[in-house]
Amino acid sequence: MNTKLRKTTNTVIKLLVVVVTFVFLYNQLVTRHDLENILPYFSEVYRTHGLSPLWIVIIALLAVNISLETIKWKYVIAKLEKVPFLRALKAVLAGMAVSMFMPNRVGDYLGRVFILKQADRLQAVMVTILGSMAQLVTTLLFGLISTFFYYPVVFDITIPFHRWVYSGIIVGGLITGTILVLSFLNFSTFSLILKRISGKGYKRVKKYTDVFQLFSSLELTWILVLSIARYLVFSLQFFLLLHVFQIPLTYFPAMMLIGMVYLFMTGIPTIALTEFSIRSSVSITIFETYLLMMGIWHEQFVFGIAAASSILWIINLIFPAAVGILFIFSLRFIRKDHVD
């Protein structure tokens, strides 16, 4: 592909991605009117309690959240190409923008790798997925732990049936959690497994599966630690928002319920923009069930829980994605001399 055609094609693709992302954002925030019930409640809380100083902490934690994800991606992609922090930050934000209109945030992987100058892009997608898998393992682990505490609150485990179910949850959860952690920390073995089941066809994928052997167990542990730190950060944001919107929960019960919300969300296929209503519905159901059992439920809490969940979604996803639109122009969809 000659230089002029390559530049023109890159520009057209960038403009197309920007337009589609902007349309999806506009549709979610303006056309669908999902915020109509939340904004009046937000105004009511502001009139009654004023502007909470917790907002400063919540916004500051956004920077911590994005920074941790940038550090993690910079760390994993360094096996293929050294990327400065600021360029890695642009890649993360651009990926969030692209993920707006793609299922299960697949665009997050694609958006990031197009900022690379030399690395093989499919290999880069593979190591990026590895970082995302660490986040998934973390979410599942905290979700399983949350289930251990949530089930006996909702169900009477003095009843034989629920006692047996709860025992099964404990045993199954411990086994599942152990398998998840050990499998992730020994992820290089998947290359050997694929080699055995692929037979002669393994040569065609060897270049890409071998990237998993680039990481030692110690390095994978560090990736998992960064994922846990990031989970604790955005969970703390959720907890603080619950306080802002007057939901009477202390830290431990709130973290248990938040863990349940994230666990259920991992099992629901979504496009990022549809998470707004789904996340709110899941949060309300889980929180309402718990608060009813504790005898402290009030109908007004529906708006507070929905507001906390939705504002968290806007802060951690919509705002960074909006900024990321600007960095889409830094991406190179077609590189010189070859197409990935």
- pLDDT tens digits, residue range 113-145? 888 888 888 888 888 888 999 999 999 999 999
Q: Which amino acid is at 9?
A: T
* Contacts with 59 (C-beta within 8 Å, 6 or more apart), sequence order: 315
Opening angle at CA 19, ends 16 and 20, nearest 5: 85
* Contacts with 324 (C-beta within 8 Å, 6 or more apart), sequence order: 92, 93, 94, 95, 96, 97, 98, 111
Dihedral-angle region of residue 50 (phi above 0 means left; psi in -120 to 50 means alpha; beta otherwise) = left
| Tens digits of residue pLDDT in 302-323 | 888 988 988 898 899 888 988 8
Token pair listed for 103? 């299922």
pTM as predicted: 0.87
| Tens digits of residue pLDDT in 254-302 | 999 999 999 988 877 655 555 666 778 889 999 999 999 888 888 888 8
Inter-CA distances, 170 with 57, 152, 160, 266, Å? 35, 11, 15, 20
Q: By the 8 A CB rule, do 30 and 230 touch? A: no
* Contacts with 197 (C-beta within 8 Å, 6 or more apart), sequence order: none
Q: Which amino acid is at 38?
A: I
From the CB of residue 321, how many other CB atoms can be counted at a distance below 10 Å? 25
Q: By the 8 A CB rule, do 323 and 22 touch? A: no
- Longest CA pairwise span in the chain (Å): 74
Percent of the chain at pLDDT > 70 equals: 82
Q: By the 8 A CB rule, do 230 and 68 touch? A: yes
Query: b/e for 11-37, b at 16 or more Cβ within 10 A?
Result: eebbeebbeebeebbeebbeeeebbee
User: How large is the average pLDDT for residues 8-34?
Assistant: 70
